[in-house]
Structure 1
C-alpha cells in the first residue's frame, strides 16, 4: 500500500520546459489526490480511515519526489487535472462507493509506468493503490448491488421497451392520441410488472439462502453431544471441510462451547443477503426507475410534438439517457464508462429499430 522511505532525487539543473510542465502537473495531481483521501478519511472511522490516511501519506511522498525534481523551477502552485478536481469536489460533499469507484479509476490511469522520471516504487504504489481502493469499495458495491441492479435494469427496460413500443405504434400510422395512450399504458404496465417481478425474484432468492444458512438454535445441542461420536464433525464435512479439518474444528468447538457453530473460517465472508437486497427495496427501485425511463419516450407527445419531430426527439432523449446510465454502470463497476455507454445505446437503438421496422410492416399490411 505504501512505499518504503527513499532519498529525494537531486533536482535536474536544466530540465526541458516540457519536463517542467509535466512535473508541475504531476505535483498538482498528487497533492490533489492526497487531499481527496484526507477528505474521505474524515468521513470514515476505524480501519478504513487509517487506510485512507495512509494513501494520502503515500501521495504526499510522490508529491515530494516531483517537488525535489523541480527544484527552483517549481513555480506557482497549479491546480490538479479536471478529473482530480471533480473527484475532490465529490469527496468533500459525498462519501460513497461512487467516489471510491472514481478514485479507483484515477489510480488505474497513472502515467508513471511510461515516465522515466518516475521511480519503479512510485509506479508500483499506484498499481497497489488501485487494489486498495477496490477493496474499500467492495463492501459498498456489495450493499448497492441488489437495489442498483434493479434500478439499472428498470431504467433501461423502461427506456428501451417504451421507445420500441412508441416507435412501433407510430410506424403503424395511428394517431398521436393513440401513441400517447399506448406509451402511458406501457409505462404503467411495465413498471408494475417489473416491480412485482423483482419482489418475487429477490424474496425467492433470499428464502433459498435462508434455507441453506445454519440454524442458530442448533448451538443449544452442543452440551448434549456424544464427545466420542462427535456428530458435529459431519456438520463441517457437509460444509466442505476435509475430514481432518472438520475433526479439529469440531473438537475446538466442543472444548469451548462459546465458539460460534458457524465459525468455519477466519476469513471474512460476504453477506449474500446484503448483496441481494430486500424484496421491497428492489421492487420499489425497479418500479420507480422503470417509470422514470419509460416516461422519456412519451415526453415529446405529452408536449404536443407530432410525426417525425416527435420520433426524432424521443429517440434522442432516450439515447442520451442510455449513455448516462451506461456511463454510471461503467464507473461503478470499474469498467470504461464510454464503452459501457456505447454498448447501452447500441442495444437500445437496435431493439427500438427492429420494432419500428415491424411497425412499418404492420402498418403497410393493414393499409
Structure 2
C-alpha cells in the first residue's frame, strides 16, 4: 500500500468542510508553484533550467498527494493564495533573481512541517527546495552585487544625506531659494563623490584580484625546473596544499609534462570574483545616477515652489516612501523580510534627518 493511500485512509474520518478546503488550497498552491518554476525555467538555460524543472516535478508529486487525499471530493479548481499567484505572475514576466528571492521566502514558510495531513517527506522536500532556490538566487545575487550594490546604496545615501542637508539648513531659517540651491549643490557634490569613490574602490579591488591571478607564462619555465629540488611543490603548498599533496602533485605534473596542457591552473573562482565585483566604471556610473536620483527627491517640493512646513513634510514623506522601497529591495535580495528591512532603512534615515533638523534649529536660534 502506498503512503498516499494509507494517508488517505487515515484521514478519511476528518473530511469536514474546513479540512477539504485546506486540502484544495494546498492542491491549488502546488499547481501554481510548479507553474512558477516552469516559467522561471523558460528564461534559463543549461543546468539552471534542469534544476528548476526538477523542482517543478517535485511540486507535481506533492500535488498528487493532495489529489489522492481528496479523491472524489476534489471539486472544482480553486485559486492559489494571493502570494503564490503573485509569484507566478512575476515569474511569467520576469524570471529574475528578485522572483527567486521571493520563491525562497515562500518555500521557507511552508506549512507542511506542522500540518498532520502532509507527510514528513513533503516537509523535508520543502526544506531542500528552499536551499536549492537559495543557491540559484545566490548566483544571481553575485552577478548583481557589484553594480547593484552601488546603485541601491547610492540611492539610499542620496535620500538620507540630502534630506538631512535640506532640513538642517531649512531649520536655521534661511530663504527657500537658499534651501533649493543647497539641495542642488548637495546632489551634485554627493553624486560626484560617490561615483569617484566607487570607481576607485572597485577598480582597486579588481587590480588586487588580477595581482593574485597566476601567471600563465609559468608553463614555459617548467621544462627547466630542477626535478630533484622541485620548487614546483612550493608553489602548490603556497596555494593551500599540504606538503605531501604538493610533492605528489608536483611529481605528477613534471612526469606528464609533455602531455599536460595546463599543469598550473588558475584558481577557478577568479572569473566569478571579477563578475561579483563588477567594473569600476559601471559601479561609478550607477553610484552617480542613483545617488542623484535619491538626492533629487527631497528637493522636489522646493523645485515646485513650496516652502516652510508644507515643503518639509512633503519632502520627508517622499523620502520615507523611497527609503521603504530601497530597504525592501535590499531585504528581498538578501532573503530576509522586505518589510523589516524597509522599516529599518526608514528609521535610520529619519533618525539622521531629525538629528540634523534639530541641529539646524539650534544654530538658527543661536544665530538669530
- Which TM-score tier does this pair reach, normalised by the shorter chain? over 0.9
Look up the match of 2:264: 261
Look up the match of 1:10: 8
Deviations 1:290-327 (CA, angstroms, capped at 9, x unpaired) = 00100000011111111111101110111111011111
Look up the match of 1:323: 324
Shift of 1:52: 0.8
Corresponding residue SS for 1:170: helix
Look up the match of 1:284: 285
In structure 2, do the counterparts of structure 1 residues 132 and 171 end up closer, same or farther at CA, with 3 Å as the change threshold? Answer: same
Q: For 1:338-353, what aligned pairs fall within 5 Å after superposition?
A: 338-353=339-354
Shift of 1:84: 1.2
Look up the match of 2:138: 138
Deviations 1:119-156 (CA, angstroms, capped at 9, x unpaired) = 00000000000000111122211111111111121011
Look up the match of 2:29: 29
In structure 2, do the counterparts of structure 1 residues 46 and 157 end up closer, same or farther at CA, with 3 Å as the change threshold? Answer: same
Contact 1:249/1:264 (<8 A) preserved: no
Shift of 1:19: 1.1
Contact 1:209/1:273 (<8 A) preserved: yes
Corresponding residue SS for 1:88: helix
- Larger displacement relative to structure 2 (79-88 or 115-124): 79-88
Contact 1:28/1:78 (<8 A) preserved: yes
Look up the match of 2:174: 174
Look up the match of 2:273: 272
Contact 1:222/1:257 (<8 A) preserved: no
In structure 2, do the counterparts of structure 1 residues 270 and 113 end up closer, same or farther at CA, with 3 Å as the change threshold? Answer: farther
Contact 1:236/1:264 (<8 A) preserved: no
Contact 2:328/2:339 (<8 A) preserved: yes
Corresponding residue SS for 2:217: helix
Indicate whether 1:125 and 2:116 are aligned. Answer: no
Question: Structure 1 stretches of 5 or more lacking a match?
Answer: none
In structure 2, do the counterparts of structure 1 residues 264 and 317 end up closer, same or farther at CA, with 3 Å as the change threshold? Answer: closer
Shift of 1:76: 1.2
Indicate whether 1:188 and 2:188 are aligned. Answer: yes
**Equivalent-residue separation in structure 1 for 2:274 and 2:243 (angstroms):** 29
Shift of 1:86: 1.4
Contact 2:112/2:118 (<8 A) preserved: yes
Corresponding residue SS for 1:115: coil
Contact 1:176/1:306 (<8 A) preserved: yes
Deviations 1:53-87 (CA, angstroms, capped at 9, x unpaired) = 11001001101111111122211111112111111
Give me the TM-score of the superposition, normalised by structure 2: 0.94
- Larger displacement relative to structure 2 (68-77 or 126-135): 68-77
Contact 1:104/1:133 (<8 A) preserved: yes
Count of residues in Structure 1 that have an aligned counterpart in Structure 2 = 361
Look up the match of 2:363: 362
Give me the TM-score of the superposition, normalised by structure 1: 0.94
**Equivalent-residue separation in structure 2 for 1:279 and 1:187 (angstroms):** 21
RMSD of Structure 2 on Structure 1 (CA): 1.6
Tell me which stretches of 4 or more aligned residues in structure 1 moved more than 4 Å: 5-8
Look up the match of 2:296: 295
Deviations 1:188-213 (CA, angstroms, capped at 9, x unpaired) = 11001100010011111111111122
